[in-house]
Amino acid sequence: MRNLDELDVTEDITRFYQPELARVIAKQRLTTMMVLLRLQLASGELLDHSPGQFLQISLPGYGEAPISFCSSPTQTQSFGLCVQAVGNLSEAMHELRPGDFVGVRGPYGHGFPIEQMRGRDILCVAGGIGLAPLRSLINYVADRRSEFGRMILVYGARTPAERLFKDDLATWDARDDFETLYTVDNPSEDWTGRIGVVTIPLRDEVEIDPSRTTAAVVGPPVMYRFVAAELLAKKMAEDDVLFSLERRFKCGMGKCGHCQLNDLYVCQDGPVFRYTQLIGRSEAIEVWAPEDERE
Ligand X SMILES: Cc1cc2nc3c(=O)[nH]c(=O)nc-3n(C[C@H](O)[C@H](O)[C@H](O)COP(=O)(O)OP(=O)(O)OC[C@H]3O[C@@H](n4cnc5c(N)ncnc54)[C@H](O)[C@@H]3O)c2cc1C
The site for ligand X (CB under 6 A) is made up of: 54, 63, 65-68, 82-84, 86-90, 132, 246-249, 271
Q: Using the rule CB under 6 A, is 265 a contact of ligand FES?
A: yes
- Of the candidates 215, 59, 103, 107, the residue with the CA atom closest to the CA atom of residue 151: 215
- Give the CA distances from residue 44 to residues 22, 24, 77, 106, in Å, rounded to whole numbers and listed in that order: 9, 13, 9, 15
Of these, 255, 281, 283, 288, which contacts ligand FES (CB under 6 A)? 255
Work out how close the CB of 245 gets to ligand FES at its nearest, in angstroms, rounded to a whole number: 11
Beta pairing partners, 127: 156
Judged by CB under 6 A, the stretch of 140-148, 167-175, 211-219, 258-266 that binds ligand FES is: 258-266
**CA 243, CA 271: separation in Å to the nearest integer?**
8
Q: Using the rule CB under 6 A, is 267 a contact of ligand FES?
A: yes
Interacting partner of 252 out of ligand X, ligand FES, none (Cβ under 5 to 8 A depending on kind): ligand FES
**CA 83, CA 86: separation in Å to the nearest integer?**
9
Interacting partner of 67 out of ligand X, ligand FES, none (Cβ under 5 to 8 A depending on kind): ligand X
Work out how close the CB of 240 gets to ligand FES at its nearest, in angstroms, rounded to a whole number: 26
- Pick the closer one to ligand X by CB: 37 or 206: 37
Pair 107, 51: CB distance under 8 Å: no
Q: Using the rule CB under 6 A, is 261 a contact of ligand FES?
A: no
Q: Using the rule CB under 6 A, is 259 a contact of ligand FES?
A: yes
Of these, 23, 158, 194, 258, which contacts ligand FES (CB under 6 A)? 258
Single-letter code of the amino acid located at 18:
Q
- Pick the closer one to ligand FES by CB: 13 or 208: 13
In the region spanning residues 15 to 44, those forming contacts with ligand FES, defined by CB under 6 A, are: none
- Pick the closer one to ligand X by CB: 111 or 201: 111
For residue 10, report the phi and psi dihedrals to the nearest 5 degrees.
-70, -30
Instruction: Give the binding site for ligand FES (CB under 6 A).
Output: 249-252, 254-259, 265, 267
